[in-house]
Copies of this chain bind each other. A is one copy, B any other.
Amino acid sequence: MWNGSPRMSETAVRRRSARGKGAELRGELLRAAMDLLTETGEEDAVSLRAVAQRVGVSVPSIYLHFADKQALLDAVCEEVFAALDAQMQAAAREGTDVFDALRLQGTAYVKFAVANPEHYRIVLMRKHDPQTGGEHADFVMASSAFAHFVGSVQECVDAGVLEGDAGTLALQLWAAAHGVAALLVAKPYFPWPPLDDYIEQVVRMAGMGIAASSRLADCDALPLPELIERLNTLRP
């Protein structure tokens, strides 16, 4: 570029951080990795070499601030997932009642995944090995998003619209939401129904299902005609 030889991607040049400010590089690496991930939408594009080049630093320098590549990716996703909690809580506040708030949180969750597919994939669609499994479980369970969601479920239990243990119910609802999210993230080119419709349908299915299934615990023991009759009483 300035050099006569064309440069394919901007190779930044960086002045070494001041004495106590080694951690500055950590932030720059994080930002670079986040940008790479969102720009390319390809996890593979976030190689340590690419990150290092973008920051204008050598590859081993990354290891001064992150244990390994996974640690860097984890840090990236941690940042992004902090936003998930905010979005879900904001959505919940729009609800007309506690049950509606649950529904809105579900759609917010899935739409977050669709809007941040690579981040979602890295955090929730990768296999975690035994060692990091424990930490990861803690991460999810202790994450504000999940905790707040369990709280919302508990409110529904208190209001009498759901029955049972809030944590157990939340795991079931999470599975449904994760199902749409994961499918949409993994197969974006599949001929899905219009996304908003599909998401809405699955979220409603889960909501109605969790409300109904606790009240019909032995539904499949019922003869089919009776089940249909009962279901029809729901209709307006």
The residues of A with any CB-CB pair to B shorter than 8 Å are 96-100, 103, 117, 121, 124-130, 133-134, 136-137, 140-141, 159-161, 168, 171-180, 182-183, 185-193, 198, 201-202, 204-213, 215-216, 218-220, 223-224, 227-228, 230-236
Contacts and interface: CB of A to CB of B under 8 A. Distances in A.
Contact of A178 (B124, B171, B179): B179
A206 B209 contact: yes
A180 B189 contact: no
A174 B183 CA distance: 9
Given A97-B224, A168-B193, A220-B103, A208 B198 contact: no
A48 to B, nearest CB: 17
A234 B205 contact: no
Given A161-B231, A171-B192, A171-B198, A206 B204 contact: no
Contacts of A140: 190
B205 A172 contact: yes
B209 A125 contact: no
A127 B188 contact: yes
Interface centre among A96, A130, A183, A209 (most CB of B within 10 A): A209
A212 B209 contact: yes
B171 A175 contact: no
Contacts of A179: 174-180, 182
B236 A234 contact: no
B172 A202 contact: yes
30 contacts: A96-B220, A98-B224, A99-B220, A127-B186, A127-B187, A127-B188, A134-B189, A137-B190, A160-B228, A168-B201, A171-B192, A175-B179, A175-B180, A175-B198, A176-B202, A178-B179, A178-B183, A179-B179, A204-B209, A204-B219, A205-B209, A206-B206, A207-B219, A208-B209, A209-B212, A211-B231, A215-B234, A215-B235, A216-B235, A230-B234
